[in-house]
A and B are shown apart, each in its own frame.
Chain A
Amino acid sequence: MAPKVYVETSVLLCASMGFKLGGRALKHQRYDNTYNLLQYSEMCRNEKISLFYTTQTVAKEAGRTLESALNRMIQRQIDKDRKIASQKRQLAENFYQFLNDCLDQMDVWLSYLSIETIDQRAKENCAILLRDEFRTLDIEFREKHGASWNDFHFRLRGILGKAAKFVRTVQRKEALHEYKPNPSRADIEIMAEASSLNHGKSNEVYLTSEDGNFCAEKNRKLLEEKFGLKCRYSHEMLKDGHIRILIENAKPSE
């Protein structure tokens, strides 16, 4: 069967910002990689190769995440309580233009991705199973790392405090590399949508994401074992021409 690459919210969102410097690289690995990966989706569309897909929830969630981040940025400007109307107008105009630019680019990427019809019952079944599995993994994670794994408030001050924070940061990073707990409702929904489209694990299906909830070791193992979904970061998809091989394999036979 032809391979499929599902694009997750974080990739769509990062790539929508990555372009913003007039085609120049953002010099931020994550953003440049997602941008480079989605450029292949444009190529595939032009050559009529069905490889890149996404789901309705991804499109919705990407817009929501962008708006909520922008909401916090605007709030900080509001808190400065500017009195001059022209300054306020200039800032608002700039934010509005920025929001439109990002959404316009997101629309362009979405136009290169195919959205498949989802069997709601199959999706719901996958979601139930995923919620149960993640609950078990979350409990294991808490038992192993304790409730304070994400707590960076220390009693120690000065150099000892700094050392404790450094150690906690390293431990946290290692723990998250192994497993990222508490996937959101939308994450589960996206996983369930992609999984329901690979019923019977009949396709070679990749889910590309920049989020540990999909790509941390245990998270990806769970999704691969239960649903045959191969979760990969964008840089893994680009590495050693992997995406080019998938494009070759996805080309319709003559």
Chain B
Amino acid sequence: MKVAMTANASPIVALMRELFGDVSDFIAEKRIDADKVRKYGEMLQLLEERRDHWALNKEMSPIDSLKIYGAYSTVYNTLYGVADALDLGIKRHENPKAAKEVYSILKDAMELLPKLEEVHNKQNKSQIPTGLIGEIFDETRILRKQAISKRLIQAGEVQNRTELIKELIGEIEQAE
């Protein structure tokens, strides 16, 4: 319970709820407020810090750290795309069409963030509930696929793909 409170009290979670509330207002009022869209800048900055913190982080196993990195990165990229879509909606006078389109994806991001913050804020990482990282990873993959299908983010290209595959093949064969 205490853990959940900490995650809920996180400024990122609070700001995310605010952003989601704003989008609901945009839909209800049939108008996208440009001042409120500017708040995304603050959110993106916070997410960027978190993302960089988890890049090749040593606090947990490499693969778990990667999953947390990927989750923050996906939320960052998604919100970047959402902010862009809302800006474009204002310019094209597509109010509230643009807000309606990002509503469900924003809801998913809002549900994911408290879990991420719970992991981030936990002092003793060994006390992270079993299965939480897996849950975060699964939800992130769903969010990423949704964001790609809505063209809020683009599927990236892997650098040095052939080398990575060969290295991975070596690792798997060695483990057998």
Contact = CB atoms under 8 A, between A and B. Distances in A.
Interface of A: 10, 13, 17, 20-21, 26, 28, 31, 65-75, 77-78, 82, 85, 88-101, 103, 211-212
Contacts of A90: 159
B131 interface: no
A197 B31 CA distance: 59
Contacts of B158: 20, 94, 97-98, 101
A21 B162 contact: yes
Contact of B63 (A71, A77, A85): A71
A72 B141 CA distance: 22
- Looking at B52, B56, B141, which has the most chain A CB atoms within 10 Å of its CB? B56
A100 B144 contact: yes
A74 B55 contact: no
Contacts of B69: 92, 96
A47 B176 CA distance: 35
A78 B60 CA distance: 12
Contacts, number: 94
Majority SS at the chain A contact face: helix
B175 to A, nearest CB: 7
A68 B66 CA distance: 12
A69 B169 CA distance: 9
A97 B158 CA distance: 6
Nearest to B160: A94
Interface string B139-175: 0010010000000000011111110110111011001
A67 B171 CA distance: 11
A31 B169 contact: yes
A93 B156 CA distance: 9
B41 interface: no
Contacts of A20: 158, 161, 165
A21 B166 CA distance: 12
A82 B56 contact: yes
Given A17-B168, A31-B169, A78 B58 contact: yes
B70 interface: yes
A211 B69 CA distance: 33
Given A92-B55, A98-B158, A70 B141 contact: no
A21 B55 contact: no
B54 interface: yes
B165 A77 contact: no
B127 interface: no
A68 B165 CA distance: 14
10 closest residue pairs by CB, A with B: A74-B62, A69-B171, A96-B70, A92-B55, A71-B63, A88-B55, A89-B55, A88-B56, A97-B156, A92-B69
A91 B56 contact: yes
Nearest to B162: A21
B56 A74 contact: yes
A97 B157 contact: yes
Nearest to A85: B52
Nearest to A94: B159
A214 B83 CA distance: 53
Contacts of A21: 161-162, 165
Contact of B175 (A68, A100, A212): A68
A101 B165 CA distance: 11
A70 B168 contact: yes
A70 to B, nearest CB: 6
Contacts of A96: 66, 69-70, 73
A17 B165 contact: yes
21 contacts: A17-B169, A20-B161, A26-B165, A66-B168, A69-B172, A70-B63, A71-B61, A73-B164, A74-B65, A74-B66, A88-B52, A91-B56, A92-B54, A94-B160, A95-B66, A96-B69, A97-B157, A97-B158, A98-B161, A98-B164, A212-B176
A78 B56 contact: yes
- Looking at B54, B65, B168, B175, which has the most chain A CB atoms within 10 Å of its CB? B168
